[in-house]
Amino acid sequence: MNFKNKRLISTVIVVVLVVFSLIKGTITSSNNNKKDESELNGYLTEFLQEQSITKLTLKKGDSSQVIQKISIEGEINAEMTNTYSRGSVLNQIKEAKNNPNVKAILLSVNSPGGGVYETAELYNALKNSGKDVYVAMKKQATSGGYYISMAAKKIYVNSETTTGSIGVIMSYVSAQKFLNEHGIKQETIRSGDQKAIGGIAEDLPESTRKIYQEQNKEAYDRFVKAIAEGRNMSEDEVKKLADGRTYSGKQAVENKLVDKIGTEDELINLIKEEKNLSNPSVIELRKDSSSESILSRLVKATTRSIISEFNSEASSTSVERSYLG
């Protein structure tokens, strides 16, 4: 049985399982809380991507001396976009971790940031990969894009790179005034003062604002700690730079947020020198978009449609959780 047939069979199996689970969930869980489309779709796409990964050899060399490139493009979140796929990136890190021939990870970062959870997840995966990580920042490596770079041994930037934006945001939209002006009022029965606070139909109480601010500060403190460890700075030194502003490549070097202005090729040469590699091969594992079948696209579209129906019937709050961006 060839590889394509195996992949097709695997895809059919997962389709059957997903459809069955969705039908079962519809019958037994009509009163469940809002379904998370991105999470479920993420599991599905992660499986499908495992079936369609291709290895690209960027530079031929000794197969026992491998530098594995991993590219981070776009927002770091749970959903698969045209530029970023959580499942694919985590799988690439896993492959590097389990491959004794991989001597270093070359992380190419071009990201404005992303969700706190997904960013921390990626940062921890890199830290725990057992491989030295070297970062080449591209056009943008801000907020969460800078956070994940703290797993690196060395960071190179372009002179035109924008980085920094160290901080955490939470957003909230209230339409209470508008609704009041139009004679619309929502009444919510709560088991506690802080239950289901943050709906669009009401202003955010000061007590709730303090709770969210504390959560925001916790995420910010973890960000600062990661930078202090990654850049060998004190937390006080980091906080002087961590007011949310962005930095050019030159400013980032001057403030010790990165190591040097240099190209990706120059960074590869540094890896060769530090790892004593005479003739390393540089590879990258990528999703083979040409092999993504019509069936897999249909399943993902169907999943989004079904979960959207769940979401339209479920209650939700309008407070956007902490976001690194």
Instruction: Indicate which residues carry an active-site annotation.
Output: 143, 195
- Residue 67, C-beta contacts closer than 8 angstroms, at least 6 positions apart: 102, 103, 104, 105, 106, 268, 271, 277, 280, 281, 282, 283
Q: What is the 3-state secondary structure of the chain?
A: CCHHHHHHHHHHHHHHHHHHHHHHHHHHCCCCCCCCHHHHHHHHHHHHHHCCEEEEEEECCEEEEEEEEEEEECCECCCCCCCCCHHHHHHHHHHHHHCCCEEEEEEEEEECCEEHHHHHHHHHHHHCCCCEEEEEEEEEEECHHHHHHCCCCEEEECCCCEEECCCCEEEECCCHHHHHHCCCCCCCCCCCCCCCCCCCCCCCCHHHHHHHHHHHHHHHHHHHHHHHHHHCCCHHHHHHHCCCCEEEHHHHHHCCCCCEECCHHHHHHHHHHHHCCCCEEEEEEEECHHHCCHHHHHHHHHHHHHHHHHHHHCCCCCEEEEEEC
- Residue 5, C-beta contacts closer than 8 angstroms, at least 6 positions apart: none
- Residue 164, C-beta contacts closer than 8 angstroms, at least 6 positions apart: 142, 146, 241, 245, 246, 247, 251, 252, 257
